Amino acid sequence: MKVKAHSRSGFTLIEVLIASVIFALIAVNIAMVTRTGSQAAANGVMRELLDSELDLTLDRIKLALMSASADNVYPQVSAPASNERIEFSTSLGVEAGVHVMGDPERIEWIPTENETGRVIWTQAAGLPGERQIQWSKSVPTLQNKEVINLGDDNFNGLVDEPGLSFHMNHASDEEMQVFITLTVTKTDSSGKVVPANRQVNITCRN
């Protein structure tokens, strides 16, 4: 008697289902690894932009204030108080024995409709040739970890200080020092607000 061989071709439904599940699991894993990798890369770029904006803004403020005349810097507030605005004139040099002063300038924090405000440098403030230049648009209302409560929450010696803050140290027998404290923030790929902050100081000659 001839027995018909049971030939097999193709896959059973179970095999197809198992293969599909394995394929789906691998695809999900690849997607997760890729997403984590690209998120990490995006956050690395964001961190570099954040640091460079902080450095560049502080460098510009320092450079502008470097030749400010100590007698022409307002308001002169000392820690724990500080101000989000500084007005000054720079000394251009001496002409016929008299100090020649440059046009009045101003550096200040200005709020926007967003959560962060702008740092603006004004040249020839109040004069016909007045000019305003933006140095940053990522500065929050208050310094990192500071809240309005009449206390120093971030332990930097300043109370309720703004995101851009200026304060002075002017001992009678010393040259005036201006301290600049700045917080800059950016939002990472997961929507989290990441801050960077630093304090620098410069000495103003009389």
By the criterion CB under 5 A, which residues form the site for Ca ion?
Answer: 146, 149, 151-154, 156, 158, 160
Report, in Å, the least distance between residue 205 CB and Ca ion. 28
Q: Cα–Cα distance between 59 and 177 in angstroms, integer?
A: 16
User: Would you say 126 or 151 has its CB closer to Ca ion?
Assistant: 151
Report, in Å, the least distance between residue 70 CB and Ca ion. 25
Q: Cα–Cα distance between 175 and 169 in angstroms, integer?
A: 9
At which residue do the structure tokens 């703004």 appear? 162
User: Would you say 50 or 158 has its CB closer to Ca ion?
Assistant: 158
User: Would you say 79 or 125 has its CB closer to Ca ion?
Assistant: 79
Report, in Å, the least distance between residue 149 CB and Ca ion. 5
Report, in Å, the least distance between residue 77 CB and Ca ion. 14
Q: Cα–Cα distance between 52 and 54 in angstroms, integer?
A: 5
Cβ proximity of 184 and 118 under 8 Å: no
Cβ proximity of 150 and 159 under 8 Å: yes
User: Would you say 152 or 188 has its CB closer to Ca ion?
Assistant: 152
In the DSSP assignment, the letter for residue 162 is B
The token pair that represents 157 in the structure block = 């010696």
